[in-house]
């Protein structure tokens, strides 16, 4: 391999950074490792990438190689790879296969972060619009007051595991193409903790926490809506072994209102007025979230028109100002008239020249036969 192109062997550019070289080698090592592919040609290829990485990962050897000198200083070209010398990248191979360097990991802690919890909070429209304060009953896990999260009974303590001697893992040596390879796995006796609780706390059964019901007081900000989630940091369940608590999430459920329909920060409602009031104009008493208020209906108001009351909607969440209240007007036509009313209306129609109105079709509102004719004409 004295005349090999180490850069081509690893598939990197000549100006590749050390991180790019390491990444390329790890990728190839996972593909070509003899334990994965025992084919003799693959084993030879694995030797080549290992020698190329040994040179290019060392700044001094890489400089000598780039200058055309022997990076091994006259030693046998394959010695580094075949003899597993000081420059052999054993830790990088372990990292490629196990996701970590070959160093010891040690026992894992019994204390782990608690789970998050979610509870649903039902509010009416006024509460979501202006905010409120609620006392919530939460069924959750809290720190065991007897053992303070240690899990051991009073007066006792966890014993060192005699299988792993407190390391939390056991090692196994196997032989492969690389020689003796050591692999580690969590200790099956202590579960990787390094200690065994032989006398667990009777209150929490060794878990370090107990379930209880507690009451918390929370403030709901103005402007929340149906589906909003509020995060209360550290108000969730305490973790096993007395670990830090998770978070509590409040899911807002907004109850329907009998008058208003909410769309974002705006409120919508419908008011019905007689045709005489729509024609002549009038003042209406309208219910709002702030109480009853007067609204002016202008003469000639048509059915479907919208009257806007600015700033009478919902408070904007985490902002200043409020949305609007939009009142949709529905003009009622009387169904039954007595003789006097009918006579007055006929007189009005006569005065306005509307005894036999021609009728006007707005775009998109033509009659059935007009639509049928347009369909046959291809319009």
43 vs 121, more confident: 121
Residue 248 pLDDT: 92
Query: Picking from 51-65, 74-88, 99-113, 341-355, which range would have the lowest pLDDT averaged per residue?
Result: 74-88
> Is 117-158+197-254 in CATH node 2.60.260.20?
yes
269 is in an annotated binding site: no
Give the per-residue pLDDT at 1.
Answer: 43
Q: Which CATH architecture has domain 261-333?
A: Sandwich (2.60)
Residue 43: count other Cβ atoms within 10 Å of its Cβ: 14
Quote the pLDDT of residue 272.
94
Residue pair 235/250 in contact (Cβ under 8 Å)? The answer is no
pTM above 0.75, yes or no: no
Please give the pLDDT value at position 354: 80
The CATH T-level fold of domain 6-98 is Helix Hairpins (1.10.287)
Q: How many CB atoms lie within 10 A of CB 117?
A: 19
Task: List Cα–Cα distances, 132 to 62, 155, 219, 247, 346, in angstroms.
Answer: 68, 47, 6, 21, 56
Determine which of 32-46, 191-205, 273-287 has the lowest per-residue pLDDT on average: 32-46
Q: Give the confidence band of 266 by pLDDT, cuts at 50, 70, 90.
A: very high
Segment 206-213 shows an average pLDDT of 92
Mean pLDDT of all residues in 322-339 = 93
Determine what percent of the chain is predicted with pLDDT higher than 90.
46
Higher pLDDT, 61 or 34: 61
In the block, tokens 């056991």 appear at 170
| pLDDT tens digits, 48-87 | 888 889 889 988 888 888 877 777 754 433 444 334 444 4
Query: How close are the terminal C-alpha atoms of the chain, in Å?
Result: 80
Instruction: Give residue 363's pLDDT.
Output: 66
If you average pLDDT over every residue of the chain, what do you get?
Answer: 83
Q: Which of 292, 297, 290 is nearest to 311 (CA)?
A: 290
Query: Can you give the residue ranges of every domain in the chain?
Result: 6-98, 117-158+197-254, 261-333
To which residue do tokens 């969730």 refer? Answer: 236
- Same topology between domain 6-98 and domain 117-158+197-254: no
Asked if the model's pLDDT at residue 37 lies above 90, the reply is: no
How confident is the model at residue 60, as a pLDDT? 85
Least confident range from 27-31, 129-133, 145-149, 178-182: namely 178-182
Report the pLDDT value the prediction gives residue 379, as an integer from 0 to 100: 52
What is the per-residue pLDDT for 131? 95
- Phi–psi pair at 80, nearest 5 degrees: -60, -40
Percent above pLDDT 70 for the chain? 81
Has 190 been labeled as part of a binding site? yes
**CA dist., res. 204 & res. 210, Å (int):** 6
**Residue range 313-326: mean pLDDT, rounded:** 94
Indicate the burial class of 261 (C-beta count within 10 angstroms; 0-12, 13-18, 19 or more): middle
Residue 321: closest CA among 129, 126, 124: 129
pLDDT beyond 80 at 358 = no
What would the pLDDT profile of 295-309 be if each residue is shown by its tens digit? 999 999 999 999 999
Q: In the chain, which residue ranges form alpha helices assigned H by DSSP?
A: 6-10, 18-32, 40-56, 59-66, 79-83, 90-98, 125-130, 275-280, 339-352, 368-376
């Amino acid at each position: 391999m004295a005349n090999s192109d180490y850069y081509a062997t690893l598939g990197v550019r000549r100006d590749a950074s050390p991180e790019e070289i390491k990444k390329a080698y790890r990728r190839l090592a996972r593909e070509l490792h003899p334990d994965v592919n025992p084919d003799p040609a693959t084993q030879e290829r694995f030797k080549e990438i290992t020698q190329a990485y040994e040179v290019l990962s060392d700044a001094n050897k890489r400089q000598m190689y780039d200058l055309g000198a022997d990076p091994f200083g006259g030693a046998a070209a394959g010695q580094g790879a075949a003899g597993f010398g000081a420059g052999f990248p054993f830790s990088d191979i372990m990292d490629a296969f196990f996701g970590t360097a070959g160093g010891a990991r040690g026992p894992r802690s019994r204390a782990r972060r608690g789970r998050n919890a979610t509870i649903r909070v039902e509010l009416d429209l006024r509460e979501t619009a202006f905010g409120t304060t609620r006392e919530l009953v939460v069924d959750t896990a809290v720190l065991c007051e007897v053992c303070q999260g240690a899990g051991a009974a009073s007066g006792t303590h966890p014993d060192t595991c005699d299988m792993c001697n407190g390391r939390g893992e056991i090692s196994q040596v196997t032989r492969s193409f690389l020689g003796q390879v050591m692999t580690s796995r969590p200790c099956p006796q202590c579960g990787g903790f390094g200690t065994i609780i032989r006398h667990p706390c009777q209150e929490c059964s060794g878990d370090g926490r107990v379930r209880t019901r507690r009451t918390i007081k929370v403030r709901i900000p103005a402007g929340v809506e149906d589906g909003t989630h509020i995060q209360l940091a550290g108000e969730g369940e305490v973790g096993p072994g007395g670990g830090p608590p998770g978070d509590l999430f409040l899911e807002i459920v907004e109850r329907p209102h009998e008058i208003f329909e909410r769309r974002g920060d705006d409120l919508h409602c419908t008011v019905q007025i007689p045709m005489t009031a729509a024609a002549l104009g009038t003042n209406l008493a309208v219910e709002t979230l702030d109480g009853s208020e007067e609204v002016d209906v202008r003469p000639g108001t048509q059915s479907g028109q919208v009257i806007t009351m600015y700033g009478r909607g919902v408070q904007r969440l985490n902002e200043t100002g409020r949305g609007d209240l939009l009142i949709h007007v529905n003009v009622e036509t009387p169904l039954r008239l007595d003789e006097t009313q009918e006579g007055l209306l006929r007189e009005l129609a006569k005065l306005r020249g509307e005894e036999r109105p021609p009728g006007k079709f707005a775009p998109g509102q033509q009659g059935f036969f007009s639509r049928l004719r347009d369909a046959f004409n291809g319009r």
